[in-house]
Structure 1
Amino acid sequence: MKAEELRKLTDDELKEKVVELKKKLMNLRFQNAVGGLEKPSEIRQTKRDIARILTILRERELQAQSGGK
Structure 2
Amino acid sequence: MKASELRTKTKAELEAELKELLRAQFSLRMQIATQQTNKTHEVRNTRRAIARVRTVLGQVGN
Give the TM-score normalised by the residue count of structure 2.
Answer: 0.92
Give yes or no for the alignment of 1:33 onto 2:19. no
**Residues 37-62 of structure 1, C-alpha deviation per residue, up to 9 Å, x if partnerless?**
23111001101111100100101222
Structure with max Cα Rg: 1
1:19-30, aligned counterparts within 5 Å?
19-30=19-30
Give yes or no for the alignment of 1:5 onto 2:10. no
Compare relative contact order (CA 8 Å, sep 6+) and give the higher one, 1 or 2. 2
Aligned partner of 1:17: which letter?
A: E
Q: What runs of 5+ residues in structure 1 fail to find an aligned partner?
A: 63-69
Aligned length: 62
| Percent identity of equivalent pairs | 40
Structure 1 runs of 4+ aligned residues shifted over 3 Å read: none
RMSD of aligned Cα (Å): 0.9
Q: What runs of 5+ residues in structure 2 fail to find an aligned partner?
A: none
Cα distance, 1:30 vs. partner? 0.1
Aligned partner of 2:6: which letter?
A: L
